[in-house]
């Protein structure tokens, strides 16, 4: 090979930056193309009332082994602060603490026999190793089977509704199974970094998640990568017949029929080059030997519409989010997370990051997030910021009747169009393939299944896809 393969990574969120970092480590020439004015996607921090707060709340769990290793490699270990956080549950006008097994045993929303049944069901779910056995079953069917209808109606149904909106009835039981397994934090750590951390501990990066993004970008650039911002990709095309010096085997060869492949790279490895049109400060047409998309699947499917490709994940349904951040002059609760058992409330939960961050992080103020996850068709996606704020604050008074707008020092509404795939019972048939065409690779949160999407999984995805690219070039 006469020169290093030129790789374009589409999207400069946590996933794109990590794909770039991994490939640079293997000697590739990498350019990250990011539409936003700065890299980091949903993982960045922002200014609010003179404080630095995360755009969306982010916590690190003791079981996030890959992520903890990255934090360490980037020299951010000393910035990581651990705290035991509390969880609450709001129902029938009252807030109940559900932070310890004892409190759960006393949880008054359920009768004593129901609490015992719930405990046994959760134990059973933890012991279930093969999630495939429940993949085709909905949450409602499975939870009703293992907990009974009454517990389902009182506890699970409002939680599922709050998180998944109208998509809840279609979601696979693996969603609850995987969430229960993730929350077993601290018991299955294999990183060697967090052995002293017990379940219930949560980690926060002092100064916000931005520190991690900044360190990642600096590392990508130190390894010779280029991060191009204000670069919105508007189309993606292949010109396999041109061939390239990097892949002489592809010269003059028609790109193979772009059919779907069974997981592995298509025969012939990479063809190319791929031409990418970007709209930004400098409209340009760029050529790369390898393209790795980290864009939401529907965006990728739209960009590559000139290519009759299957396997891009165009059928994946996703949840978006609209989230109000409130900077308050006083704490709202004692809980990091307050779960909501009242289906009339429009937000998914109340997250008070002050209880996760070290004391003094927000200069005496309290930071509260009110997220609403948006299933396809949710009318809240159409509401402007003022309407979102108005409705959220009215509803906040249902939980805290004494809440007064005068407590608000500053506020902001943040949105993201695709934050996680909806794991329907047929989800694996919709998942994007890793390599839908020669030279085109997909690394996406839509490939994370059955696990919930969080940055430890995102990082592992980046490592896996980068590893497959390297292996395909070597063969």
| 410: number of Cβ within 10 Å | 15
Site for ligand FAD contains 349 (CB under 6 A): no
Proportion of the chain in helix, strand, coil states, percent, rounded to 5: 35, 25, 40
Q: Residue 213 or 396: which CB sits closer to ligand FAD?
A: 213
Q: Residue 351 or 437: which CB sits closer to ligand FAD?
A: 351
Site for ligand FAD contains 233 (CB under 6 A): yes
Site for ligand FAD contains 43 (CB under 6 A): yes
The CB-side HSE value for 297 (13 A sphere, CA atoms) comes to 26
Binds ligand FAD (CB under 6 A): choice among 396, 419, 422, 466 = 419
Site mask, ligand FAD, residues 58-87, x = CB under 6 A? xx----------------------------
Site for ligand FAD contains 439 (CB under 6 A): no
Cis bond before residue 450 (omega within 30° of 0) = yes
Site for ligand FAD contains 294 (CB under 6 A): yes
Distance CA 327, CA 365 (A): 6
How remote is the C-alpha of 130 from its chain's centroid? 23
Judged by CB under 6 A, which stretch of 10-18, 81-89, 187-195, 399-407 contacts ligand FAD?
A: 10-18
Phi-psi region of 377 (alpha: psi -120 to 50; beta: other; left: phi over 0): left
Of 246, 347, 353, the closest CA to residue 1 belongs to: 246
Report, in Å, the least distance between residue 375 CB and ligand FAD: 14
Site mask, ligand FAD, residues 445-474, x = CB under 6 A? x-------xxxx-x----------------
Site for ligand FAD contains 322 (CB under 6 A): no
Report, in Å, the least distance between residue 39 CB and ligand FAD: 7
Q: Which two tokens stand for residue 265?
A: 């790279």
Rg for the chain, CA atoms, rounded: 23
Distance CA 276, CA 259 (A): 21
Binds ligand FAD (CB under 6 A): choice among 295, 316, 345, 375 = 295
Q: Residue 240 or 446: which CB sits closer to ligand FAD?
A: 446
Q: Residue 151 or 465: which CB sits closer to ligand FAD?
A: 465
Q: Residue 6 or 454: which CB sits closer to ligand FAD?
A: 454
Judged by CB under 6 A, which stretch of 38-46, 128-136, 247-255, 359-367 contacts ligand FAD?
A: 38-46
Number of DSSP helices (H) and strands (E) in the chain, helices first: 12, 19
- φ, ψ (nearest 5 deg) of residue 470: -60, -45
Strand partners, 441: 292
Size of the site for ligand FAD (CB under 6 A): 34
- φ, ψ (nearest 5 deg) of residue 91: -155, 145
Helix (H, G, I), strand (E, B) or coil at 25: helix
Q: Report the sign of the C-alpha dihedral through residues 198, 202, 206, 209, in that order.
A: positive
Binds ligand FAD (CB under 6 A): choice among 290, 321, 338, 437 = 321
Of 373, 336, 81, the closest CA to residue 208 belongs to: 81
Judged by CB under 6 A, which stretch of 6-14, 131-139, 186-194, 405-413 contacts ligand FAD?
A: 6-14
Q: Which residues bind ligand FAD (CB under 6 A)?
A: 10-16, 33-36, 41-43, 56-59, 232-233, 294-295, 299, 321, 323, 371, 416, 419, 445, 453-456, 458
């Amino acid at each position: 090979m006469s020169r290093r393969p030129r790789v374009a990574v589409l999207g400069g969120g946590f996933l794109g930056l990590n794909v770039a970092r991994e490939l640079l480590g293997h000697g590739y020439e990498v350019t990250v193309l990011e539409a936003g004015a700065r890299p980091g996607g949903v993982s960045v921090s922002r200014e609010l009332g003179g404080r630095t707060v995360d755009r969306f709340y982010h916590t690190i769990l003791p079981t996030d082994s890959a992520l903890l290793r990255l934090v360490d490699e980037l020299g951010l270990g000393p910035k990581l602060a651990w705290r035991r956080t509390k969880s609450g549950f709001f129902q029938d006008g009252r807030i109940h603490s559900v932070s310890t097994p004892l409190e759960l045993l006393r949880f008054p929303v359920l009768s004593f026999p129901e609490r015992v049944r719930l405990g046994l069901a959760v134990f059973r779910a933890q012991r279930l190793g093969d999630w495939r056995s429940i993949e085709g079953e909905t949450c409602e069917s499975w939870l009703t089977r293992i907990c009974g209808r009454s517990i389902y109606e009182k506890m699970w149904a409002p939680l599922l509704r709050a998180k998944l909106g109208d998509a809840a009835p279609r979601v696979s039981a693996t969603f609850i199974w995987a969430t229960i397994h993730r929350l077993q934090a601290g018991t299955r750590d294999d990183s060697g970094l967090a052995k002293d951390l017990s379940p219930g501990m949560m980690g926060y990066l002092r100064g916000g998640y931005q520190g991690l993004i900044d360190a990642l970008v600096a590392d990508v650039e130190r390894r010779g990568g280029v991060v191009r911002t204000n670069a919105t990709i508007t189309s993606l095309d292949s010109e396999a017949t041109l061939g390239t010096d990097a892949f002489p085997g592809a010269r003059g060869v028609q790109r193979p029929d772009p059919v779907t492949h069974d997981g592995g790279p298509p025969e012939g490895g990479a063809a190319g080059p791929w031409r990418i049109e970007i709209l930004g400060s400098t409209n340009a047409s760029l050529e790369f030997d390898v393209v790795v998309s980290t864009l939401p699947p529907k965006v990728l499917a739209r960009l590559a519409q000139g290519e009759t490709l299957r396997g891009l994940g165009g059928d994946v349904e996703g949840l978006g989010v609209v989230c109000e951040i409130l900077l308050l002059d006083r704490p709202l609760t004692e809980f990091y997370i307050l779960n909501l058992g009242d289906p009339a409330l429009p937000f998914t939960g109340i997250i008070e990051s002050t209880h996760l961050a070290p004391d003094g992080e927000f200069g005496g103020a309290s930071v509260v997030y009110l997220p609403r996850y948006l299933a396809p068709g949710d009318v809240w996606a159409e509401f402007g910021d003022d309407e979102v704020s108005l409705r959220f604050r009215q509803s906040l008074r249902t939980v805290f009747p004494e809440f007064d707008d005068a407590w608000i020092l500053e506020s902001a509404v943040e949105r993201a169009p695709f934050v996680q795939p909806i794991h329907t019972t047929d989800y694996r048939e919709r998942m994007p393939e890793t390599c839908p065409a020669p030279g085109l690779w997909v690394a996406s949160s839509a490939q994370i299944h059955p696990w919930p999407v969080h940055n430890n999984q995102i990082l592992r995805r980046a490592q896996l896809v980068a590893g497959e690219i390297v292996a395909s070039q070597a063969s």
